[in-house]
Amino acid sequence: MGLALVHGRARAGIRAPEVKVEVHLGGGLPSMSIVGLPEAAVREAKDRVRAAIQCAQYEFPARRITVNLAPADLPKGGGRFDLPIALGILAASGQIPAEPLRDWEFVGELGLTGELRAIDGALPAALAVAGTGRALLVPAANGAEAALASDVAVHTARTLLEVCAMLGGQKSLPQAVPPPQREVPTIDLRDVRGQAQARRALEIAAAGGHHLLLVGPPGCGKTLLASRLPGLLPPASEAEALETAAVLSVSGRGLDPTAWRTRPFRNPHHTASAVALVGGGAEPRPGEISLAHNGVLFLDELPEWQRHALEVLREPLESGVVTISRAARQSEFPARFQLVAAMNPCPCGWAGDVSSRCRCSSDVITRYRARISGPLLDRIDLHVDVPRLPPSALRPDAPGGEPSADVAARVASARERQHARAGTLNAQLDQSATMRDCRLIPKDQALLERAIEALHLSARSMHRILRVARTIADLDGSDAIATPHLTEALGYRGAHAAHSPSA
């Protein structure tokens, strides 16, 4: 009778819970069974493991083999358990020593030739192993990604035979090292001509982490402005970058280890479904809002999106997380993103333009704007008109805008003030922190209350106006919110309040 224990890692959202792979060789007719809530890809491991062991010139035991993946109530999916199962069978049958297995954790899919193939979620596995005192072994193709976790020793192998030689003391395996970071060019705000108000709103959004809605005719520069926002944000901290990279690692879309510190900018097409936005599937995968975590999500042509797809954004905009529930599992993904949305003022796009070319009736415009619900608009802090520029502003010799580096310096200074005061950005202040840090003098409080009544705004809108005013004051270097700060914040709410659909 032989028994072996090998440590592995499952995938649950962006977490990597530990799985103990227990292999038992007993008497009876030759067979192999895998228990512990294995999904189809895990159950098929028996055929891959058998062929890989034989191709590595080891003997596949002609005995009754039972593989238990503990804990038994955690669903196991993918090919990541192939390597631990194969090593467990070899250790239980005495073909490799079992003692060294205690100091290692293994993840990797096996080819029929014994080759180790890449898996999804290598980075979350490496982050989870840190602190256990064990080393992690991953396929060579996952080495650069797993090495981003600096607090764990990550080694790589190309074949099952190399792993067995390492455990037997005949060979040492290379330690993975993170690749050098390449410079990712950012698009400069200098390229945006004119649009002083929209540029100012973009700076406020970057400084406080606020959501932004740009409304204007076709070709006025809404997409151009949105694409410049990442260049105004400060570099992501290591913790932020690792969390964002972990989301990309489990998404199945591949993580570029040479650009893992770059803040994401996601620009999905307006035909994307609700599942594409928030994530889903039988084995839950992150959607666009999670792939934009710690970055920017740009939704162009906002009224053209499916109403259901937009409504699923409401909760993540408040909480910063999205929970995907299935019958057998529940997965949680982070979704702390900045939303930048863009839309035309009417179906033809020219309502309010000085050319008076719009022929849309008021009913048509109302129906068009009603495609976006009031509760969703309520969660967008800054509503900005982006007018069409005169041709003279687009001439090659016309003066350019302020460079991104200058604006980013002011944004970084304002963010430092926020973190020193509250430990978080103004947009993420809870109600009690908002009341504490966004106090107004009595005259300004009365002005705010009159504006709320006149514009028919909600309590949520009032709190968001206060947070925007606090950000404007931080950009101005002021400890208190002054009247100009409040009036500017109100201006970003009043522009479209009269046209907003009711909640």
- pLDDT value at residue 494: 64
Q: 150: domain CATH number?
A: 3.30.230.10
Q: Mean pLDDT throughout 204-217? A: 96
Specify the range with the lowest mean pLDDT, choosing from 106-120, 321-335, 412-426: 321-335
Is 60 exceeded by the pLDDT of residue 500? no
SS3 481: coil
Reported confidence tier of residue 327, pLDDT bands at 50, 70, 90: low
Residue 178 within any structural domain of the chain: no
Task: Look at residue 440 in the predicted model and tell me its pLDDT.
Answer: 95
pLDDT for 495: 54
Residue 449 confidence (pLDDT): 94
Same domain, 9 and 151: yes
Please state, in angstroms and rounded to a whole number, the distance separating the CA atoms of residues 137 and 160: 11
Q: Do residues 146 and 198 share a domain?
A: no
Query: What pLDDT, on the 0 to 100 scale, is given for residue 497?
Result: 46
User: Per-residue pLDDT for 496 more than 80?
Assistant: no
- Structurally, the chain folds into a number of domains equal to 2
What average pLDDT score do residues 327-332 get?
A: 78
Q: What percent of the chain has pLDDT over 70?
A: 97
Tell me the pLDDT tens digit for each residue of 53-85: 999 999 999 999 999 999 998 989 999 999 999
Instruction: Clarify whether residues 208 and 152 are in a common domain.
Output: no
pLDDT at 1: 52
- Average of per-residue pLDDT across 12-25: 95
176 located within any domain: no
DSSP alpha helix (H) spans, 56-98:
82-92
Query: Distance from first CA to last CA of the chain, Å, rounded?
Result: 68
User: Does residue 174 belong to any structural domain of this protein?
Assistant: no
Would 179 be classed as within a structural domain? no
- Residue 252 — pLDDT band, cuts 50, 70, 90? confident
Q: Which domain holds residue 361?
A: 189-497
**Does residue 103 belong to any structural domain of this protein?**
yes
- 15 with 155, same domain: the answer is yes
Instruction: Tell me the mean pLDDT in the region 485-493.
Output: 94
pLDDT per residue over 215-243, tens digit each? 999 988 899 999 999 999 999 999 999 99
Looking at residue 341, which CATH number applies to its domain?
3.40.50.300
Residue 446 to residue 450: CA distance in whole angstroms:
6
Average pLDDT over residues 151-174: 95
Tell me what pLDDT residue 499 has: 43
Name the DSSP letter for residue 263. Answer: P
CB 51, CB 89: distance < 8 Å? no
Q: Which tokens belong to 423? A: 């430990």
> Does 286 lie in the same domain as 345?
yes
Q: What pLDDT was estimated at residue 11?
A: 92
The answer to whether 49 and 82 are in contact (CB under 8 A) is yes
Q: Is residue 147 part of a domain?
A: yes
Name the least confident of 78-82, 202-206, 347-351, 447-451.
347-351
Same domain for 159 and 196?
no
**Residue 31 token pair:** 């067979």
**Exposed e or buried b per residue across 273-291, where buried means at least 16 C-beta atoms within 10 angstroms of its C-beta:** ebeebbbbeebbbbbbbbb
What pLDDT, on the 0 to 100 scale, is given for residue 503?
35
Q: Calculate mean pLDDT across residues 122-143.
A: 95
213 and 93 in one domain?
no
Instruction: Return the percentage of the chain with pLDDT > 90, whole number.
Output: 80
- What does pTM read for this prediction? 0.91
**If you ran DSSP here, which 8-state letter would residue 413 be given?**
H
More confident call, 159 vs 252: 159
Using CB atoms within 10 Å of the CB of residue 131, give its burial: 0 to 12 exposed, 13 to 18 middle, 19+ buried. exposed
> How many residues are there in the chain?
503
**451 and 320 fall within a common domain:** yes
Helical spans, DSSP H, in 130-221 = 143-146, 160-167, 196-208
For 349-367, the pLDDT digits (tens) are 888 888 788 989 999 999 9
Q: At which of 136, 167, 198 does a domain end?
A: 167
* 453 and 315 belong to one structural domain: yes
> For residue 191, what are the CA distances in angstroms to 24, 136, 394, 416?
66, 47, 10, 27
Alpha helices in 341-424 (DSSP H): 362-369, 374-378, 404-422
Whole-number Å distance between alpha carbons of 365 and 121: 46
**What is the distance, to the nearest Å, from the Cα of residue 29 to the centroid of all Cα atoms in its chain?**
49
| Residue 501: predicted pLDDT | 43
Residue 410 lies in a domain: yes
User: What is the mean predicted confidence (pLDDT) over 388-401?
Assistant: 78
DSSP characters for 126-149?
A: HHHHTTSS-EEEEEGGGHHHHTT-
| 162 and 268 inside one domain | no
Averaged pLDDT for residues 333-361 = 91
Backbone angles phi, psi at 250, to 5 degrees: -90, 0
CA distance linking residue 216 with residue 329, whole number of Å: 43
Q: Is residue 200 part of a domain?
A: yes
